[in-house]
Amino acid sequence: MHERMTLDQPTSRTPLLDLVPYPAKLRTRAPSELVRIAQELRQDVIETVAVTGGHLGASLGVIELTVALHYVFDTPQDRLVWDVGHQAYPHKILTGRREDMLTLRQGGGLSGFTKRAESEYDPFGAAHSSTSISSALGFAIARDMLGERRNIIAVIGDGAMSAGMAYEALNNAGALGSKLIIVLNDNQMSIAEPSGAMADYFSRLAARAPQTKQGEASEGVNEWAHRSWFEELGFTSLGPVDGHDLDKLVSTLQNAREIDGPVFIHALTQKGKGYAPAQVAADRMHGVSAYDPVSGAQVKAKASAPAYTQVFAESLIREASKDERIIAITAAMPSGTGLDLFGAAYPARTFDVGIAEQHAVTFAAGLAAEGMKPFCAIYSTFLQRAFDQIVHDVALQNLPVRFAIDRAGLVGADGPTHAGSFDIAYLGCLPNMTVMAPGDEADLARMVATAAAYDDGPIAFRFPRGEGTGVAIPQVVMPLAIGKGRIMREGSRVAILSFGARLAQALRAADELDALGYSTTVADARFAKPLDSELILALARDHECLLTIEEGSIGGFGSQVTQLLLEEGVLGGTAMKMRSMILPDLFINHDKPERMYADAGLDAQGIVAKVRDMIEPRGRRLRVLRG
């Protein structure tokens, strides 16, 4: 059980940390106390995340850096911008949120990332990578134009330095010359091992620095002859500096604070620092469920069905065994997308391009142009970053890139920054694009086979996080007919047309509706583009009302169906009623996925309520009940 002692209990395990609830209090402590404060902060993070789950390894790696930053700079007057937010748990504890940390990533509780609405110490929200330098430069230029005096600091990880946006910002910042401090948190890790030439470059920078007897970067690291690439861009380059040596960190940050112009600090850290189970884990315990703080053993419920991600990976491996042209591409998410499994089977056909979604898509387009079959496996929320490449480099040229879109729909504890809400809309509006979504894991296997066989243009299939429904996957998986759905059960009065993973809830709702006397058909659309026009028109013709449901925003599948019915003269010319159930037009805060869908009205109960409102308007039902 997680316990935290209060100030009136002399046996507190964190006596110094208890005295520094805010950075202003931290800055009153003697420099000699900072090491002890950092030790207590590290233990507090370990004990907190053991209860809540979350992003552990990155936060453990920046304990000393966080203490030093808040000790040297006058936050929140000075703006401290964290990249991604995985590394911000110690920052939250030191900025007045310690007593709320056990609500981290829980419904109604603290966000797992920095969030402007949560604290004045979070000047910029961050959950997608590589935004810190651009936003910090914006803060710096605004400060200059307003004639204000404050320091602007961006903390960016070496994994985030694989994204083009970081270099666009460095290019601009170096040219503008405004006072700005960039701290590279170099732990030689992204979520997985880093890839790319820049990761190798940072390693060489660290290796070239003078070393002490203990193998740590010496204090005179800026005096060595090598002139870094960052200095060529106009930055004063400091480091590499040991990111776990508080004396050196404080001294380096104080020096940077006095420099007029852009400064780049290279801090060497260890992901998972100070926690043995994290330091031996392959991903340094990047993202974890609740765990035993002593052993690090995670508490995970036994799966009742294989995860969709696993089904995708195994299906792709099966297809690749039959076609050597199949290639898998990930943007720094091999384990999250299941491509670690594919990579183990086919390492020469697996490409991790780093946090570079734009490059991933156009790289795939080039492969497709030469007859290869690239599968670009990217979370829905991250694929947004490559929209222009999807339009210009793929769809416009009708190149057969396969998009495997994981984390479709609501994702739970990661909240609105990671929700897959918009891909149906932003892909469905593109000429030449085919868009699929499975209602269960067996259909996901079929859609992988369909994408592998399809060479007539780009094709995408989206699937949710978490377990499947438990249906059996056939031994022989055949491709689907393009643009054809299926009837799951037949009724006569109500038609529910599901696109994607709400199918199980639609079937459950149909059982309830039948019990209420509303005979219900359930159809699985399978395709949002092209639509199964024959199926949809038949559903509209043969039923009193038609309800579409999807795990996506306005402008998606329901809008496509509505457009079809309008064009065919079905809506407005008949008594048939039609409604669409979509995600609400807002960013839904983090919670358990089932609660999020219930709040959105996209569970069986919500479907039943929507159908009853269609057939018996609320006012009529109230009159019946009161009568």
Please say which residue of 409, 430, 462 terminates a domain: 462
Are the CB atoms for 418 and 464 separated by under 8 Å?
no
Are the CB atoms for 556 and 405 separated by under 8 Å?
no
Question: CA-to-CA distance for 29 and 544, rounded, in angstroms?
Answer: 72
Whether pLDDT at 622 is above 50: no
Whether pLDDT at 313 is above 90: yes
- 341 within some domain: yes
Q: Find, among 411, 439, 405, the residue nearest to 583 by Cα.
A: 411
Instruction: Verify whether residue 357 is a known catalytic residue.
Output: yes
How many residues are there in the chain? 627
Q: Looking at 13-22, 214-223, 409-418, which range is the least confident one?
A: 214-223
Question: CA-to-CA distance for 566 and 503, rounded, in angstroms?
Answer: 25
* Residues 534 and 386 both lie in one domain: no
Please name the helix (run of DSSP H) or strand (run of DSSP E) that holds residue 78, with its range, or none.
Answer: none
Instruction: Verify whether residue 373 is a known catalytic residue.
Output: no
* Residues 528 and 440 both lie in one domain: no
* Residues 244 and 117 both lie in one domain: yes
Whether pLDDT at 535 is above 60: yes
DSSP 364: H
* Residues 217 and 339 both lie in one domain: no
Question: CA-to-CA distance for 499 and 506, rounded, in angstroms?
Answer: 10
Are the CB atoms for 495 and 537 separated by under 8 Å?
no
Are the CB atoms for 176 and 142 separated by under 8 Å?
no
Average pLDDT over residues 305-331: 97
- 405 within some domain: yes
* Residues 457 and 492 both lie in one domain: no
Residue 148, pLDDT score: 97
Do the bridges between strand 287-288 and strand 54-55 make them parallel or antiparallel, or are there none, so unpaired?
Answer: antiparallel
Q: Give the CATH number, domain containing residue 561.
A: 3.40.50.920
Question: CA-to-CA distance for 504 and 510, rounded, in angstroms?
Answer: 10
Q: Find, among 174, 173, 172, 241, the residue nearest to 210 by Cα.
A: 241
562: its two tokens = 């509505």
pLDDT band at 460 (very low <50, low <70, confident <90, very high): very high
Structural domain count, the chain: 3
Average pLDDT over residues 323-345: 96
Whether pLDDT at 213 is above 70: no
100: its two tokens = 């709320």
Angle subtended at Cα 521 by Cα 584 and Cα 439, rounded to the nearest 5 degrees: 55
Question: CA-to-CA distance for 471 and 230, rounded, in angstroms?
Answer: 54
158 vs 570 pLDDT, higher one: 570
Would you list the DSSP string of 608-621? HHHHHHHHS-HHHH
- 6 within some domain: no
Residue 224, pLDDT score: 40
pLDDT band at 554 (very low <50, low <70, confident <90, very high): very high
- 315 within some domain: yes
599: its two tokens = 């709040």
Please say which residue of 462, 495, 512 terminates a domain: 462
Residue 85, pLDDT score: 80
Q: Looking at 111-125, 224-238, 239-253, which range is the least confident one?
A: 224-238
Residue type, 46: I
Average pLDDT over residues 288-317: 92
* Residues 193 and 138 both lie in one domain: yes
Q: Which of 42, 179, 271, 407 is catalytic?
A: 271
Please name the helix (run of DSSP H) or strand (run of DSSP E) that holds residue 154, with its range, or none.
Answer: strand 152-157
- 219 within some domain: yes
Average pLDDT over residues 211-217: 40
* Residues 282 and 315 both lie in one domain: no
pLDDT band at 205 (very low <50, low <70, confident <90, very high): low
Question: CA-to-CA distance for 407 and 385, rounded, in angstroms?
Answer: 15
pLDDT band at 193 (very low <50, low <70, confident <90, very high): low
For 83-95, the three-class secondary structure string (H helix, E strand, C coil) is CCCCCCHHHHHHH
Average pLDDT over residues 364-392: 98
Average pLDDT over residues 99-125: 95
Average pLDDT over residues 367-374: 98
Residue 303, pLDDT score: 82
**Surface-to-core class of residue 4, CB atoms within 10 Å of its CB (0-12 exposed, 13-18 middle, 19+ buried):** middle
**Surface-to-core class of residue 100, CB atoms within 10 Å of its CB (0-12 exposed, 13-18 middle, 19+ buried):** middle
Q: Which of 349, 373, 385, 610 is catalytic?
A: 385
Whether pLDDT at 352 is above 50: yes
For 486-533, the three-class secondary structure string (H helix, E strand, C coil) is EEEECCCCEEEEEECCCHHHHHHHHHHHHHCCCCEEEEECCEEECCCH
Residue 159, pLDDT score: 83
* Residues 22 and 106 both lie in one domain: yes
pLDDT band at 127 (very low <50, low <70, confident <90, very high): confident
pLDDT band at 611 (very low <50, low <70, confident <90, very high): very high
417: its two tokens = 């920054």
DSSP 460: E
Instruction: Verify whether residue 592 is a known catalytic residue.
Output: no
Q: Give the CATH number, domain containing residue 325.
A: 3.40.50.970
* Residues 234 and 104 both lie in one domain: yes
Average pLDDT over residues 432-461: 98
Q: Find, among 55, 360, 355, 376, the residue nearest to 199 by Cα.
A: 355
* Residues 37 and 143 both lie in one domain: yes
Residue 99, pLDDT score: 96
575 vs 604 pLDDT, higher one: 604
Are the CB atoms for 506 and 549 separated by under 8 Å?
yes
Question: CA-to-CA distance for 556 and 497, rounded, in angstroms?
Answer: 13
- 347 within some domain: yes
Are the CB atoms for 241 and 209 separated by under 8 Å?
no
Are the CB atoms for 336 and 191 separated by under 8 Å?
yes
* Residues 145 and 269 both lie in one domain: yes
Are the CB atoms for 189 and 145 separated by under 8 Å?
no
The tens digit of pLDDT for each residue in 19-49 reads 999 999 999 999 999 999 999 999 999 999 9
Would you list the DSSP string of 268-308? E--TTTT-HHHHHSTT-S-EE-SB-TTT--B--PPPSS-BH
519: its two tokens = 């005979």
Residue 189, pLDDT score: 62
Q: Which residues of 464-503 are buried (b: 16+ CB within 10 A; e: fewer)?
A: bbbbbbeeebeeebeebebbebeebeebebbbbbbbbbbb
* CA 514 to each of CA 28, 308, 521, 522, 545: distance values in angstroms, whole numbers, following the listed order: 69, 30, 10, 12, 14
Average pLDDT over residues 199-224: 53
* Residues 619 and 572 both lie in one domain: yes
pLDDT band at 304 (very low <50, low <70, confident <90, very high): confident
Whether pLDDT at 299 is above 90: no
- 600 within some domain: yes
Residue 220, pLDDT score: 43
Whether pLDDT at 618 is above 70: no
Q: Which of 357, 441, 550, 551 is catalytic?
A: 357
Whether pLDDT at 573 is above 90: no
Mean pLDDT of the chain: 91
> Containing domain of residue 426, as a range?
308-462
- 474 within some domain: no
